[in-house]
Structure 1
Amino acid sequence: MARVSRREGRRWRAYGRAALVALLVSAAALNAATIDGGEHLLPVTATALLCGAALLSSRLRWPLAPLLVTAATAWWGSLLLPLLVVALFDLAVDGRARAAVGCGVAALAANVLGYPATALWTPDRYASALFLPPLAVILGLWLGSRRRLVQALASDVEHLRIESKLREEAAGHAERSRIAAEMHDVLAHRLSLIALHSGVLATRRDALPAPVAERLTLLRRTSVEALADLRDILGALREPDAEPSAAARAPVMREVRELVDEALAAGQHIELTSEGHPEQAPTTHRLAVYRIVQESLTNARKHASGAPVTVRVDYRPPATHVEVTNPPGTPRTDTVGGGYGLVGLRERVTALGGHLTAGPAGAGTWRVAARIPHPPGVEQNGTRT
């Protein structure tokens, strides 16, 4: 809004300046018509028009316009003195005080040899010749200094605004990183306890039933992998300027098949249909598909325990498709969730240019589906051309 107001102000100032110059040119022509029977009307009008056009032209304003008006005023004197005042004012506003004084002195001094009928050095005219040019220079210097001061203050305010915004963003990032680090520390401690106790129990697998031993092995492996992921993320949060390791730069790619196998081993009923090869999709798409299936299976375990889950994945161009559906089941009461999993997934898919939908699909069935278009230039094997 402030920028629009400034542009409007500059535009109206330009209109006012153009109207003033046109008025002064018309006044010079009318005054020329009353001198010597109007025999100099044509040359004075032509000279005044030329000077006015030079004053209004942004490309000719310096140094041609002041020199042209100075020379014209030196000859025609009082007829073009108002245009000289405008030229001196412009020079002073631009901070060219020496040029303004030089042009004024040159015009007044040379007018001694100018056209006698309009000379400034006559008793009825030399007062204006001594008064108007200095006044124009003084007012121009004051107005130019004020404009530059206002611009400097506006620039400082803009810099302060940007600095304040950057500080707010930095504070937000620091606070989020601190909260994430604290949460990861707590989770790392609890996962370490799970891995420790499951490892101790796994050493006595000979005395345990085979299904229990398999579940303990799965629990220990999963907790160790989750702990490693948390440590990588925690290290990146605490050392943002450090060179990330190869594992941090390229996270371990886990496919949907592994996720489904683990869920099947945990007792969940899942039917997986996969078309195409994972390598046909970009790595970011495969990570998104993995997270979508992971979140959907977790939600199914929480809110529809015992219900079968159908997973369909299609990696083939021109888009990666994933759909997870499950009928209603028995909600579990021993789980706690934040409710932000689908929000994060929607942001991830949107960032990749795709679209994610989640909600009822009829007959109480819950459906999560996403379509992520492949970037231009991706071949069938998932590499860029």
Structure 2
Amino acid sequence: MNRSTVSRWSAAFGRAAIVALFVLITAMNGVTISDGRYLVPVTASAVVCAVALLVPRLRWPVGPFLVTAATAWWGWLTLMLLAIVMFDLAVDRRTKAAVGCAGVALTANLLGLPASRIWAEQRYVAALFVLLFAFVAGLWLGGRRRLMQALSADVEHLRVEAQLREEAARVMERSRIAAEMHDVLAHRLSLIALHTGVLVTRSDTLPAPVAERLGLLRTASAEALADLRDVLGALHEPHTTPVPAALTPAVRDVQELVDEARAAGQRVGMTTQGHPEQAPTTHRLAVYRIVQEALTNARKHADGALVTVHVDYRPPTTLVEVTNTAGTPGEGGSVDSGYGLIGLRERVSALGGHLDAGPAGAGAWRLAARIPHPVGIEQNGPRT
């Protein structure tokens, strides 16, 4: 049983207890008038009204009608039940119905039972106070409930929107990976096609089977390039500007990225172990994106801080760690969507690795990834 169910049951039990208490008070008051002469009819009327108020299907409009009729005759004996009706109608924003029920009951009571008439002995002052208090309390509770429902709806909307944005960030990162791998594969297939084309032009000096195989290889590489272009065109998002080749990480190195940050005035220290060629291309692309995101975040959130970059390309695991000390928020530091880290985590997870991002003490921040090399990558010397 969840919390909402428990809350509903508690509210229903509390309402039943209050209605039962008011019925008991009505019956006890019935004993005090005319020497208990009207005890049975008063109690019966109160019980019928209570059933109408407790059964959800009868709560509107049967309940208000029965309670109004009973109060019109019995007067102050059933006034508390009328207060419940006023409260319920105010909660449901049926203000006109609430005012109408109170007006009809009080007006018709001028012709009601004289012994319990509200207008006798100035009982109307207390009656008006009770009804007005119930009405105002109902308006307040109804407004609070609607406010809470609106806030809950807004929270749910924001939660769904955040999920959609996270998914969009993941999809965008997958598309970026596909585009980057297209650049890498297209470059290598172009080299294969180029070299095989050169060899085909000299096929007269080669054995016939070799020349035939070279021709097939050249044709296959050209077809693979065409297929790559078709796939990239099918996956390309409309209304987006393609990234210039000079800016793609497939043709750039992390050292160039660090040099650009230093030239822009950022304090960056970098240590590298191994050579980029020791890691798969997908790992090098991931390292580039991680360092790029870390440097951007440092400029936004810790301007003037010292950034330390450590990269290790050697098998069996590509390691990258970027830390920065505390600094002052830079331009755009107040805007923090977090979707860049979501994309990085998606990229690293797709490679079977793990990404850590979080505080490193004293206002510092650390972004680190560990990406295992595929089986078959040879180790070029032990790690230190």
What TM-score does the superposition give when structure 2 sets the normalisation length?
0.58
Structure 2 gap segments, 5+ residues each: 241-315, 319-348, 351-384
Aligned to 1:88: 86
Aligned to 1:116: 114
1:54 deviates by 1.2
8 Å Cα contact 1:205/1:213 also seen in 2: yes
8 Å Cα contact 1:78/1:119 also seen in 2: yes
1:219 deviates by 2.5
1:80 partner SS: helix
Q: Where do 1:1-385 residues align within 5 Å?
A: 4-123=2-121, 125-239=123-237
The 1:143–1:152 alpha-carbon spacing in structure 2 relative to 1, beyond 3 Å, is same
Structure 1 gap segments, 5+ residues each: 243-335, 345-385
Q: Partners in 2 of 1:16 and 1:237 — Cα distance?
A: 60
Render the CA deviation track for 1:83-102: whole Å, top value 9, x for unaligned: 10000000001111121112
What is the aligned length? Answer: 245
1:241 deviates by 9.0
1:211 deviates by 4.3
1:42 deviates by 2.5
1:214 deviates by 4.1
1 or 2 for the larger relative contact order (CA 8 Å, sep ≥6)? 2
8 Å Cα contact 1:92/1:140 also seen in 2: yes
1:229 deviates by 2.4
Q: Partners in 1 of 2:208 and 2:100 — Cα distance?
A: 105
2:60 partner SS: coil
1:179 deviates by 2.3
Q: Partners in 2 of 1:46 and 1:123 — Cα distance?
A: 26
1:62 partner SS: coil
Q: Partners in 2 of 1:66 and 1:241 — Cα distance?
A: 61
CA RMSD, Structure 1 to Structure 2 (Å): 2.7
Q: Partners in 1 of 2:67 and 2:107 — Cα distance?
A: 14
Q: Partners in 2 of 1:177 and 1:226 — Cα distance?
A: 19
8 Å Cα contact 1:108/1:129 also seen in 2: no
State the identity as a percent.
Answer: 63
Amino acid at match of 1:186: V
Q: Partners in 2 of 1:195 and 1:56 — Cα distance?
A: 84
Structure 1 window deviating more from structure 2 (159-168 vs 78-87): it is 159-168
1:222 deviates by 3.0
1:22 deviates by 1.6
Q: Partners in 1 of 2:220 and 2:11 — Cα distance?
A: 72
Amino acid at match of 1:84: L
1:95 partner SS: coil
Q: Partners in 1 of 2:220 and 2:44 — Cα distance?
A: 92
